[in-house]
Amino acid sequence: MAEAKPIAVLTSGGDAPGMNAAIRAIVKVAASRGVPVVGVENGYTGLREGRLRRLTREREGAVVPDGDMDALGAIGGTILGSARELRFHTKEGRAPAIDQLAQFAGLIVVGGNGSLAGAHALAHESATPIVGIPASIDNDVGCSGSAIGVDTALNTIVAACDKICDTARAHRRAFVVEVMGRDCGYLAMAGAIAAGADAVLFREQGRDEEAIVAAVERVIRDGFTRRGKQRVLVIKAEGVAVPCTRLVRLLEDRIGADLPGVDVRATVLGHLVRGGNPSFQDRMIAGRLGLAAVAAVLGGKTDVMAAWQSNAPGGIATSDPAVALHPLEQVLRESAALVDGSSPITKRRVQLMEQVEGMLGL
């Protein structure tokens, strides 16, 4: 009997902890249905080049995972590698990838907005089912209550801030800790609440440099004088245009003279926020989205994304009450709204942070 066409899976864009758990789920679910799986190495770059890696094999007439998939779900990053393939922005650039798709029963794309935009384009240029899974620590993917990687990133941010506060208290210091998130301030907002920050800065506040410096100076002064604090923690989203080191220098200039013994320091967490073994939450989300994505491909669905705890109308229900399929066109539209601030979700997040801003420093 001719072997069934394989499902292909690729990871694309910024890696996220939990991507490997999604790969594990896709392999196991497909194998349980007798469908082989191949991994595409290095995202869309590898798809263009046909760089495939077998993730299942036949044994005694059954399809089984090739190698130890069990450990895979606990490892950060992505075993397939990832890439930001700029040539995918044009139809010509996607053409070599389209040629590769005919050999697959479907393609599952695990990634953030840029990757899902590529999946949307492929779905319109190929008859092969294309299904997306949101994976981005930024949590800036529309329709999905969370993307894979967000929970682990937040755990990393909180753990790092706890460590920084240990030393800040020892020296009566203020720290500005910068976190990733690209243009989305979600990691900074949620991280600030969980880490007990005294203030949080995110692009969606729409403040200019003077307003930012004045706000942070006020929090630092209040913290060390009126509140008698031993440390002040400010979390800054990387989307805030003022560089962390410049912000600290401006604050030192304003405070250094009349707050003796108070230092202001900067820590940029950078790619630390993207590493680490995935949390329970990210492994669970990855597993359930992987199941839904395989079922969607085998059901002939295309140009959709499996969303976790969907926060948008019009999703197609799946066998999992927490997972719905949304058209990629809607996902990308909602993603753009999340970032440009027109989304009710962004407005609600900003309003909540405005409500608590005065309380954070108490």
Q: Which residues are catalytic?
A: 138
Q: Cβ 83 to ligand F6P, closest distance in Å? A: 10
Q: Quote the least distance from Cβ 188 to ligand F6P, whole Å.
A: 11
The label of the residue with tokens 């069990």 reads 70
Binding to ligand F6P by residue 182, rule CB under 6 A?
A: yes
**Residue (of 342, 337, 310) closest to 143 by Cα position:** 310
Q: What is the DSSP string of 7-27?
A: EEEEEESS--TTHHHHHHHHH
Q: Which stretch binds ligand F6P (CB under 6 A): 130-138, 218-226, 292-300, 335-343?
A: 130-138
Count of positions on this chain that bind ligand F6P (CB under 6 A): 11
Does 236 contact ligand F6P by CB under 6 A? no
From 83, 107, 109, 137, residue interacting with ligand F6P (rule: CB under 6 A): 137
| Cα distance between residue 214 and residue 157, in whole Å | 25
39 scored as a contact of ligand F6P (CB under 6 A): no
Name the residue nearer to ligand F6P (CB basis): 66 or 178. 178
Residue 309 C-beta-side C-alpha neighbours within 13 Å: 9
The verdict on 274 binding ligand F6P (CB under 6 A) reads: yes
- Contacting residues for 206 by C-beta, under 8 A, at least 6 apart: none
For position 361 contacting ligand F6P by CB under 6 A, the verdict is: no
Minimum distance, C-beta of residue 4 to ligand F6P, in the bound complex (Å): 34
**87 secondary structure, DSSP code:** G
Question: Percent helix, strand and coil across the chain, each rounded to 5?
Answer: 50, 20, 35
The answer to whether residue 138 forms part of the interface with ligand F6P (CB under 6 A) is yes
CA distance 154 to 160: 10
Distance CA 146, CA 273 (A): 16
Tell me if 180 contacts ligand F6P by CB under 6 A.
yes
203 binds ligand F6P (CB under 6 A): no
Dist. CA 206–CA 198, nearest whole Å: 19
Q: How far is the CB of 153 from ligand F6P (least distance, A)?
A: 9
Q: Is residue 191 a contact residue for ligand F6P (CB under 6 A)?
A: no
Question: Are 299 and 208 contacting, i.e. CB atoms less than 8 angstroms apart?
Answer: no
Residues at the interface with ligand F6P (CB under 6 A): 14, 84, 112, 136-138, 180-182, 238, 274
